[in-house]
Amino acid sequence: MDPVRVGILGLGTVGGGTVSLLRRNAEPLKRRLGRALEVTRVAVKDPSKPRPVDLEGIEVGTDAESICTDPNIDIVIELVGGVDNAEPLVRKALEHGKPVVTANKALLAERGNELFRFAGEQGVDLAFEAAVAGGIPIIKALREGLAGNRIESVHAIANGTANYMLSRMRTEGMEFAGALQEAQDLGYAELDPTFDVDGIDAAHKLALVAAVAFGAPINYEALHIEGIRSITREDILYADELGYRIKLLAITKNGPGGIELRVHPTLVPQDTMLASVEGVFNAVQVVGDAVGPTLYYGPGAGADPTASAVVGDLVDVARTLGAPPEYRVPYLGFRADGMQEPRWAPVEEVETEYYLRMQAQDQPGVLAQVTRILSEEGISIEAIRQKEPRPGDTDVPVVLVTHTTKERAMRKAVAAIDGLDVINGPSQLIRLEEVDAV
């Protein structure tokens, strides 16, 4: 049979990795598919730029749009990134009946609903495994492997840069700024690290994961997002003493107030699989009503791992090229007419445990005042520790962990505590998740 002709938009890290991988593994890929996968065109910004990838036999140009409309291209891989750049190209390809494989989490988090609808109207695929957790086939697991389940919760370490920084803060005793500098020096973090350290990248991924987990429209707006800038070495140390690690988690969960969508630093018990994920690795813990807790672990970024996800999608899409849509897996696992808008839980209605670090004046009665406020809000305390003051400091750090309580009550209590004369606020509040017995 004729080869499947692939056009790639963008030849950065992932694009280069994809071209290399398709060449290197052409033989086993053909054994899988019965047809060759052949990159025939790529679009780049600067064709004269030297690239560490063999482009022989590939037409290299600057006109991305012409690839999307080229009748000799069967499948388009979108790797240009960005939202406003990428959207018209993806639309153009879909409009011309070409399935699209993309790694663009921002695009789908923000415009995915419209794009999936349009792809459905055109009757072609729009695949995005590479947009979430790099090489870990987590979209496929949620969308197909666990299709028998009602998903109860997903807890993901979805940003390798933030995880690397938190690992280094713990093992090397670094503060945030030092860990960030190191991550930048190593090329893990961008010069503008906002997407990684402020939780935005993890949030984009979570928006997609939640849609696939719950058969709900993508709702990036409903997300509560906090990054790791406020986490101190001290918090990591105290968490450690209490038996926890601090991780930037992306969490979606069918909670008492509806579907929760939140990205924030989180204490997780040290003896869980999630806690043991160190460095730039990603991991996704999924609890289903039938399967119970499962976990998926691997490299969350990088040329080769992301190319692995792109090519996995490419094989799926190529296999069903021209097939009636009903034979294909729906984009988000649920059919368009089976998607349901859930109640999205406001963060105030989230129920979880909390770690609270206060700076207290070293005088009698402080703990009594703090515990009275918590008790008035119906919050019970699981553990409380008074720490040594830091050298030259008159304040005494007091750290406590609560039992499960509602965010609204907790916030009210912290505001009251920070209003006490004997507390030098603002206190540090970090959520704590038991993440099941995994």
**Binding-site residues:** 9-16, 105, 190
Name the residue with tokens 């005042």: 369
Cβ distance 298 to 281 under 8 Å?
A: yes
Q: How many CB atoms lie within 10 A of CB 55?
A: 16
368 binds its own copies (CB under 8 A): no
Angle between helices 176-185 and 160-172 (to 10 degrees): 120
Query: In this structure, what DSSP letter does residue 379 have?
Result: -
Q: Which residues are annotated as a binding site for L-homoserine?
A: 190
**Binding-site size, its own copies (CB under 8 A):** 66
DSSP notation for 94-136: HHTT--EEE--HHHHHHHHHHHHHHHHHHT--EE-GGGSSTTS
Q: Which helix (H) or strand (E) holds 21?
A: helix 13-24
DSSP notation for 49-77: S--SS--TT-EEES-HHHHHH-TT-SEEE
What whole-number distance in Å separates Cα of residue 254 and Cα of residue 151? 8
In the complex, minimum distance from the CB of residue 55 to its own copies, in angstroms, rounded to a whole number: 19
Q: Which residues are annotated as a binding site for NADPH?
A: 105
Minimum CB distance to its own copies smaller for 279 or for 389: 279
Q: Which residue(s) pair with 100 in the sheet?
A: 76, 126
Minimum CB distance to its own copies smaller for 40 or for 282: 282
User: Per CB under 8 A, which region of 107-115, 283-291, 362-370, 398-406 contacts its own copies?
Assistant: 283-291
Q: How many CB atoms lie within 10 A of CB 2?
A: 8
User: Per CB under 8 A, which region of 254-262, 312-320, 384-392, 424-432 contacts its own copies?
Assistant: 312-320
What whole-number distance in Å separates Cα of residue 97 and Cα of residue 75? 9
Q: Which helix (H) or strand (E) holds 429?
A: strand 428-432
What whole-number distance in Å separates Cα of residue 379 and Cα of residue 395? 24
Choose which of 10, 269, 330, 397 interacts with its own copies (CB under 8 A).
330
User: Per CB under 8 A, which region of 79-87, 101-109, 299-307, 423-431 contacts its own copies?
Assistant: 299-307
Per-residue binder mask for its own copies (CB under 8 A), 118-157, x = binder: -----------x-----xxx--xx--xxxxxxx-------
User: Per CB under 8 A, which region of 2-10, 41-49, 114-122, 304-312 contacts its own copies?
Assistant: 304-312
Q: How many CB atoms lie within 10 A of CB 433?
A: 22
What whole-number distance in Å separates Cα of residue 267 and Cα of residue 246? 5
What whole-number distance in Å separates Cα of residue 117 and Cα of residue 124? 10
Per-residue binder mask for its own copies (CB under 8 A), 243-282, x = binder: ------------------------------x--x------
Choose which of 289, 362, 393, 434 interacts with its own copies (CB under 8 A).
289
Catalytic residue among 140, 205, 247, 253: 205
In the complex, minimum distance from the CB of residue 103 to its own copies, in angstroms, rounded to a whole number: 13
187 binds its own copies (CB under 8 A): no
Question: Which residue type, as a one-letter code, is found at position 346?
Answer: P
Minimum CB distance to its own copies smaller for 265 or for 330: 330
Choose which of 13, 25, 113, 424 interacts with its own copies (CB under 8 A).
25
Q: Which residues are annotated as a binding site for NADP(+)?
A: 9-16
53 binds its own copies (CB under 8 A): no
In the complex, minimum distance from the CB of residue 300 to its own copies, in angstroms, rounded to a whole number: 11
Minimum CB distance to its own copies smaller for 83 or for 315: 315
Minimum CB distance to its own copies smaller for 55 or for 273: 273
Give the footprint of its own copies on residues 33-52 (CB under 8 A): 33-34
Choose which of 53, 55, 237, 291 interacts with its own copies (CB under 8 A).
291
The token pair that represents 108 in the structure block: 């789908």
Q: Distance between the two ends of the chain, CA-based, in angstroms?
A: 47
What whole-number distance in Å separates Cα of residue 401 and Cα of residue 151? 28
Minimum CB distance to its own copies smaller for 46 or for 326: 326
Q: Is 205 a residue of the active site? A: yes
323 binds its own copies (CB under 8 A): yes
The token pair that represents 191 in the structure block: 């010069």
Give the footprint of its own copies on residues 405-424 (CB under 8 A): none
Tell me phi and psi for residue 119, to 5 degrees.
-60, -40
Catalytic site residues?
A: 205
Interacting residues with its own copies (CB under 8 A): 17, 21, 24-25, 28-34, 129, 135-137, 140-141, 144-150, 215, 273, 276, 288-299, 302, 304-305, 307-312, 314-316, 319-320, 323, 326-327, 329-330, 333-335, 337-340, 438
